[in-house]
């Protein structure tokens, strides 16, 4: 909606000057170097920080930091913490290195982007939305994770925000919805979406949102910055569940949001400090540690996933496979354009429908199989789950079926176990 965000014009100038990139990916070696080479700070497991004197405390409360560190990271941990600040910086580099480089080349003096880490992915998503939403606004929502979906329905029911669910895998649907609803202020999408692994053309959607001053928010959880860097494609805000690939070991819950500095400092951060969705210092330290080898881990997971998807596609007991890295995926070309590879999540339907899927999943619930029956994804351990009764159970059945989340759909998150072990076990599970 034009004129709705007073930071839009400034952001647009900077977005055009710094954020668009011919190169859709940060070079893999540079990516791994950023991850590995940042050095880990000590753990600041504390809730409050000693000031040098009254002037120092007062300066920090108005956002001044005498030694150049993040202004609010040394007052009280709900407002920020050095461990969280460290993780925010590394994630910021991974998503925005090209923006930083371009801004430095033009001798930009003030920050363009901001990065915040949260106690969960849901905390990141809800805080960003509460940072801008007002009565009378409409938000377009694609096929999103179950709890994101139910939060949007809650906003509609409780506060009268208009939520318009659309199939965002066709960019024209977004255009038509914007044309029909002059009160649209934001579009929220996931690509690949969860769990049907359909892609949204981020660049094409941004061509529709940008002239209308509509914020394009991309949940980049399924890719992590290793597979996709949405600012290069036209996103305005990027959110993550760090619980998945960044943590990589299912050892903690965390989230992140990165976006225009003006928006984050004036609208998102005030909500953050009052809601208190702050992560613990130890979890931020832990995620900074696991982030160090994320690219190496993910490369292996994605290579295995590509082979497992091909194996499933050729398996006589499998009905259909959804994986963007397969040539048979309807958006294979788009995957090559906006992702480094097809990722490490695969969805499929087993011949025999729901019962056959349940039988396979129960096979992996056993202790002697190299996979767990569990929700979540991105871990070094492979997981198998049933979206319709688990991660997406909160989505009303009619909407679920319409989005392709059928009762027969099974979701697989590939870990680091290796192709031969996983393929052999899946084959055994299908033939039991």
Q: Please select the residue that binds ligand PLP; options are 80, 121, 192, 248, rule is CB under 6 A.
A: 121
CB 202 to ligand PLP: min, Å = 15
> Which one, 144 or 318, has the nearer CB to ligand PLP?
144
Q: Which of residues 314-333 bind ligand PLP (CB under 6 A)?
A: none
**How does DSSP assign 322-365, residue by residue?**
E-TTSTTSTTHHHHHHHSSSS-SEEEEEETTHHHHHHHHHHHHT
Q: Smallest gap, in angstroms, from Cβ of residue 239 to ligand PLP? A: 7
What whole-number distance in Å separates Cα of residue 379 and Cα of residue 392? 20
Per-residue tokens: 406: 């059928």
Find the shortest distance in angstroms from Cβ 225 to ligand PLP. 14
Cis peptide upstream of residue 15 (ω within 30 degrees of 0)? no
Q: Is 253 in the site for ligand PLP (CB under 6 A)?
A: yes
Q: What is the DSSP string of 250-314?
A: S----EEEEEEHHHIIIIIHHHHHHH--PPPHHHHHHHHHHHTTHHHHHHHHHHHHHHHHHHHHH
Q: Which residue is nearest to ligand PLP (CB)?
A: 121
The site string for ligand PLP over 228-247 (x = CB under 6 A, - otherwise) reads -------------x-x----
The region, left, alpha or beta by phi > 0 then psi within -120 to 50, assigned to residue 88 is alpha
Nearer to ligand PLP by Cβ, of 221 and 304: the residue is 221
Cis amide linkage into residue 195, ω under 30° from 0: yes
CA-nearest of 97, 338, 385, 103 to 233 is 338
Q: Which is nearer to ligand PLP, 75 or 202 (CB)?
A: 202
Stretch that binds ligand PLP, among 116-124, 153-161, 227-235, 351-359 (CB under 6 A): 116-124
Binding mask 122-161 for ligand PLP (x = CB under 6 A): x----------------------x--x-------------
Q: Give the C-alpha separation, 137 to 41, whole Å.
A: 42
Determine the Cα–Cα distance for residues 240 and 377; give it in Å rounded to an integer: 13
Helix axes 353-364 and 419-431, enclosed angle (nearest 10): 130
- Judged by CB under 6 A, the stretch of 18-26, 69-77, 205-213, 216-224 that binds ligand PLP is 216-224
Among 77, 127, 191, 194, binds ligand PLP (CB under 6 A): 194
Complex with ligand PLP: residue 93 or 391, whichever CB lies closer: 391
Which of 81, 84, 120, 196 forms a contact with ligand PLP (CB under 6 A)? 120
Compute the 3-state secondary structure of the chain and give helix, strand, coil in percent, each to the nearest 5.
Answer: 45, 15, 40
Total residues in contact with ligand PLP, by rule CB under 6 A? 14
Q: Which of 25, 84, 191, 221 binds ligand PLP (CB under 6 A)?
A: 221
Binding footprint of ligand PLP on the chain (CB under 6 A) = 120-122, 145, 148, 190, 194, 219, 221-222, 241, 243, 253, 255
């Amino acid at each position: 909606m034009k004129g709705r965000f007073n930071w839009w014009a400034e952001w647009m100038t900077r977005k055009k000057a710094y954020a668009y990139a011919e190169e859709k990916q940060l070079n893999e070696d540079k990516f791994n170097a950023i991850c590995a080479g940042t050095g880990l700070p000590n753990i600041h497991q504390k809730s409050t920080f000693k000031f040098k004197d009254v002037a120092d405390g007062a300066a920090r409360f108005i956002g001044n930091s005498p030694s150049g560190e993040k202004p609010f990271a040394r007052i009280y941990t709900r407002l920020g913490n050095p461990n969280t600040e460290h993780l925010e910086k590394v994630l910021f580099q991974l998503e925005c290195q090209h923006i930083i480089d371009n801004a430095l080349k033009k001798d930009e003096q003030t920050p363009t982007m901001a990065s915040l880490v949260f106690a969960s992915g849901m905390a990141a998503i809800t805080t960003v939305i509460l940072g801008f939403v007002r009565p009378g606004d409409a938000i377009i929502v694609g096929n999103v994770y179950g709890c994101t979906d139910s939060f949007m329905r809650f906003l509609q029911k409780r506060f009268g925000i208009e939520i318009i669910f659309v199939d965002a895998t066709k960019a024209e649907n977004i255009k038509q919805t914007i044309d029909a609803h002059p009160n649209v202020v934001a579009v929220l999408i996931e690509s690949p979406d969860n769990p049907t692994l359909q892609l949204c053309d981020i660049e094409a959607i941004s061509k529709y949102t940008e002239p209308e001053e509509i914020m394009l928010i991309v949940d980049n959880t399924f890719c992590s910055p290793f597979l996709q860097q949405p600012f290069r494609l036209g996103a305005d805000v990027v959110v993550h569940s760090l619980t998945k690939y960044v943590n990589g070991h299912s050892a903690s819950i965390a989230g992140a949001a990165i976006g225009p500095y003006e928006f984050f400092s004036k609208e998102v951060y005030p909500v953050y400090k009052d809601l208190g969705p702050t992560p613990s210092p130890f979890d931020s330290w832990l995620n900074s540690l696991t982030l160090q080898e994320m690219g190496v881990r993910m490369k292996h997971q994605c290579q295995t996933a590509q082979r497992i998807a091909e194996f499933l596609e050729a398996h006589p007991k499998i009905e259909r496979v959804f994986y963007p890295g397969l040539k048979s995926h309807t958006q294979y070309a788009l995957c090559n354009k906006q992702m480094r590879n097809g990722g490490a999540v695969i969805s499929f339907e087993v011949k025999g429908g729901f019962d056959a899927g349940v039988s396979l999943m129960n096979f992996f619930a056993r202790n002697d199989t190299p996979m767990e029956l569990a929700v979540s994804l991105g871990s070094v351990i492979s997981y198998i789950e049933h979206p319709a009764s688990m991660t997406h159970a909160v989505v009303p059945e009619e909407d679920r079926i319409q989005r392709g989340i059928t009762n027969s759909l099974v979701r697989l998150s590939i870990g680091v176990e290796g192709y031969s072990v996983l393929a052999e076990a899946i084959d055994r599970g299908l033939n039991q």
